[in-house]
Amino acid sequence: MSHYLGYTAEELKHSQAILTAREITQQPSCWLKSHTAIGKSLDKIQTFLTPIFAKPDLRIIMTGAGTSAFIGHSIAPTLRQLTNKRIDSIATTDLVSNPDQYLNKNIPTLIVSFGRSGNSPESLATIALADQYVSDCYHLVLTCNIEGQLYQRSLRNHRALALLMPEETNDKSFAMTSSFTSMMLSALTIFSTGYPIKQDIERMYKCSETIITEFNSEINRIANQHIDRVIYLGSGGLRGLAQESALKLLELTAGQVIAGYESPLGFRHGPKSIVNSNTMIIVFISNNPYTRRYDLDLLQELRHNNIAARIIAITAQLDETVTKGEFWQVPGMESATDVDLLFPYILFAQLYAFHKSLMLSNTPDNPCPTGEVNRVVQGVTIYKFNN
């Protein structure tokens, strides 16, 4: 009998949690498949991107709605550093309502669209608005659904290239998990020359498999503690991951747990007021020696304040500051860059949200059956834009 995350398949089906459990668990193997798939398409990708990248004033916008937007938020800081190009991460939900504030008519622009279903109305509208507003516009689409409009429309656009993720990454559950991490890894492979190399993938795979098997029961135990506020903190791209982590908890608990995010430095400027005795704070600790000092400063401060119910440092490296309190160490990633850490770190947040959902007697595969929120957003009216 199949088991996922400490439950039998039958138990998960009864709890309407089988899809979410399976899709969280399958992620390491999806990364291997996604990396291989992009490798097989590199010639086509380079043929498309090389003349675009040759434009000296090129602007790259990474975009998507909800979780898909947080892919760009998580990786754009690293990609700006690695490519020395202007790379902005702007959600489609911002672009669609204010295109003239986010787009520039006279700057060549590559829109990189992320979409699980490829049917979000804002994602489709972003492509149309960019083509309408920007005189020299191109599109790179990463999506998990061959039948989605984002993919199908791109096939008819000579200024677009659409890339499909492995079929199993088209998550059938409400929350995006393997679709998020697989599109993120694929984008890193495309835009970072030589990253990730085979050794990086294998290290991330091994580390993440260990987290799923060895940390799951402890995360389940923590999820059964009475906590009604959870705050995720991270610096740089880890702030984007903190945003995705907070959204996973809000989605899977249907808002029964308040979830927030910030950077460690930004948290002191007002958001820290949310902390009370029912709050858990999770700090994603950077491996960058300079950035790490700021993360550890706040970690020490929060522990000294002794207000939150739990303060957990998620870290790859151990030192005296980390080990003075509660921490989870991701194994074998001591020398990893922060962009490598995105993948094992998000597993902690996904697992916690999953187990918290079950503890609250929610149904992770469809946490809002009454329809206030949906797997593909509904109720959006797209208005004509005149420029």
Give the pLDDT confidence score for residue 196 in this predicted structure: 62
Q: What is the pTM of this model?
A: 0.95
Give the pLDDT confidence score for residue 387 in this predicted structure: 79
Which residues touch 383 (CB under 8 Å, ≥6 apart)?
A: none
Which domains does the chain carry? Answer: 3-191 (3.40.50.10490), 215-359 (3.40.50.10490)
Token output for 211: 């987290």
Q: Is the pLDDT of residue 1 over 60?
A: no
Which residues touch 95 (CB under 8 Å, ≥6 apart)?
A: 61, 63, 102, 103, 122, 126, 129, 130
User: pLDDT tens digits, residue range 160-203?
Assistant: 999 999 999 999 999 999 999 999 999 999 998 656 677 888 89
Give the pLDDT confidence score for residue 380 in this predicted structure: 83
Reduced to 3 states (helix: H, G, I; strand: E, B; else coil), residue 31 is helix
For residues 89 and 120, what is the distance between their CA atoms, to the nearest angstrom? 18
User: pLDDT tens digits, residue range 334-371?
Assistant: 999 999 999 999 999 999 999 999 999 999 999 876 66
Q: Is the pLDDT of residue 146 over 80?
A: yes
Q: How many CB atoms lie within 10 A of CB 99?
A: 19
Q: What is the largest CA-CA distance in the chain?
A: 59
Sequential DSSP letters for 236-286: THHHHHHHHHHHHHHHHTTTSSEEEEE-HHHHTTTGGGG--TTEEEEEE--
Q: What percent of the chain has pLDDT over 90?
A: 90
User: pLDDT tens digits, residue range 292-307?
Assistant: 999 999 999 999 999 9
Q: Let me know: does 173 contact 165? Beta carbons within 8 Å.
A: no
